[in-house]
Structure 1
Amino acid sequence: MSENQGSNVKEPGSGPGPGRRKTVRKGMFVKDLKPMIYGAGDVPQPASDTVALMDDLIIDYITEMCLKAAKVAEPRGKVKVDDVKFILRKDPKKMARVEELIYMDDHIRKAKQIVDMNEVEPTPEKLNP
């Protein structure tokens, strides 16, 4: 763990807004980032400052996306997938990834339902032991 990951020091303007809780999320993705950075062509054990920087960038990006989606959803009061799609509408690469993830989520959900239905139905072996 790098020395900056546990600190509560925040940059000016990055503090919580009205009604937001103060939370420190540094180091949240470190475990997942190391193999991803390696997979992108870095050394097997990337430098901790590189991982910390990537972690900060990811947290900032996700936070901004959530805030934008919340602003779009404000009249409804609930963020939906369509709000995220609306935000990403001008970025075809990210939009395609969102569509792929939605498709795969639906595909996996249907496959699980089929498996669950097959487990509920009694088979002849179970009826006659």
Structure 2
Amino acid sequence: MVSYFTIDATGENTNFQKEISNMMHGFGDNPNPNAATVVLVEDIVLQQLRSMIQEALNYSLLKGTNVISNHEIIYLMRKNPVKLKRLQNYQIKMDHIDNTRNPTAANPSTTSILTGIVLEEEKESKKKRTHIDVIKDLDEMDEVSLVKFDAIDYLRKVRAAKITESMSFEKYEAYHKARCSSFRSGYGLSKGFVKLESWINPTKELKITQLALEVLCFLAYETSHLRQNL
């Protein structure tokens, strides 16, 4: 199947170099990481996301649809229970943040429309699927529930704790801000992924749901963390 992605990433206006630079600082790197490394990490993340989207599209076409939902993306992750467990925790955290910022978000009736993104409307008769719902559907052997300890996540927390031990308030404030950086443009499904969607789907040819974009946002962050020591 012909790939939808024919635009060279270096020729696009949208980029996440500032965000990746901040994330690398949050991962324990220098506050001003090497620019070439930032560009390299950005390219790796972009290529990984586009490759995954292409696979997800192929899978969705087999099902008779050209819409890429979170189901297709999570399906591609199904053999990695540890990463699925992290996605579960990510969903719980984001739900908590959204509900704290907007108490009515827990029971939305409709979702605002964004250009180039297919929205999943809430219907009274059918509850909107979440990442956790999809994971439960795909995890036939219940492997995710067996993940009790995530060594990589533990080491991340230990590293962060050690880094902040002797920090001044000013440095800690900057570090905390860097730790909060991600590929989201904001919180809430209605406005959080405009930039990400423009980055990975610049021609707007693909139909990607916001829930799919949220999973891709999670995966982009995970990849950036793994590539910080390149």
Q: Tell me the TM-score range normalised by the shorter chain.
A: 0.5 to 0.7
Residue identity matched to 2:81 = P
Who is 1:33 aligned against? Answer: 20
Who is 1:77 aligned against? Answer: 66
Who is 1:98 aligned against? Answer: 87
1:1-37 Cα offsets, whole Å, 9 max, x none, are xxxxxxxxxxxxxxxx847364343471101101111
Residue identity matched to 1:82 = H
Residue identity matched to 2:9 = R
- 2: CA distance between counterparts of 1:90 and 1:19? 24
1:53 aligns with 2:40: yes
Gaps of at least 5 residues in structure 2 are: 109-230
Residue identity matched to 1:91 = N
Aligned Cα root-mean-square deviation (Å): 2.9
Q: 1:112 aligns with which of 104, 110, 115?
A: 104
Who is 2:220 aligned against? Answer: none
Q: How many residues align?
A: 100
Work out which structure has the larger RCO, using CA pairs closer than 8 Å and 6 or more positions apart in sequence.
Answer: 2
Structure 2 length normalisation: TM-score? 0.37
Q: Which structure is larger by alpha-carbon Rg, 1 or 2? A: 1
- 2: CA distance between counterparts of 1:76 and 1:85? 16
Residue identity matched to 1:57 = I
Structure 1 length normalisation: TM-score? 0.62
Who is 1:88 aligned against? Answer: 77
Kindly tell me: are residues 111 and 59 of structure 1, through their superposed partners in 2, closer, same or farther at Cα, counting changes over 3 Å?
Answer: same
Question: Percent of counterpart pairs with the same letter?
Answer: 21
Kindly tell me: are residues 70 and 95 of structure 1, through their superposed partners in 2, closer, same or farther at Cα, counting changes over 3 Å?
Answer: same
- 2: CA distance between counterparts of 1:72 and 1:115? 31
- 2: CA distance between counterparts of 1:85 and 1:49? 31
Kindly tell me: are residues 104 and 58 of structure 1, through their superposed partners in 2, closer, same or farther at Cα, counting changes over 3 Å?
Answer: same
Kindly tell me: are residues 91 and 22 of structure 1, through their superposed partners in 2, closer, same or farther at Cα, counting changes over 3 Å?
Answer: same
Q: 2:52 aligns with which of 49, 65, 68?
A: 65
Say if 1:38 and 1:44, in contact at 8 Å, map to a contact too.
Answer: yes
Say if 1:85 and 1:98, in contact at 8 Å, map to a contact too.
Answer: no
- 1: CA distance between counterparts of 2:22 and 2:28? 10
Say if 2:4 and 2:54, in contact at 8 Å, map to a contact too.
Answer: no
